[in-house]
Amino acid sequence: VEEAAKLLESVGFTRDGDGKWLLPDGTPEADLAREVADADLLLMCYTRIGAPVIRGASRLKAIVKYGVGIDAIDIDTARERGIPVVNVPAYAEETVAEGAFALLMALFKRFKPIHHAMRSEGWAWPEPRWLAHDLSGKTLGLLGCGRIGRSMARMAGAFRMRVLVYDPHVAAPALPPGVERCVDMDTLLARSDAVSVHCVLNAQTRHLLGAAQLARMKPGAFLVNVSRGEIIDEAALLQALQQSHLGGAALDVYGREPLSPQGHALSALYEMDNVMLWPHLTFYTHEAMQRLE
Catalytic residue numbers? 228, 257, 280
DSSP 219: T
CA distance 219 to 208: 19
| Helix/strand/coil percentages in the chain, nearest 5 | 40, 15, 50
Q: How many other C-beta atoms are found inside a 10 Å radius of the C-beta of residue 158?
A: 10
**Shortest CA distance to 152 belongs to which of 207, 199, 201?**
199
> Diameter of the chain by CA atoms?
66
- Dihedral of alpha carbons 251, 277, 270, 246, sign: positive
CA distance 107 to 32: 40
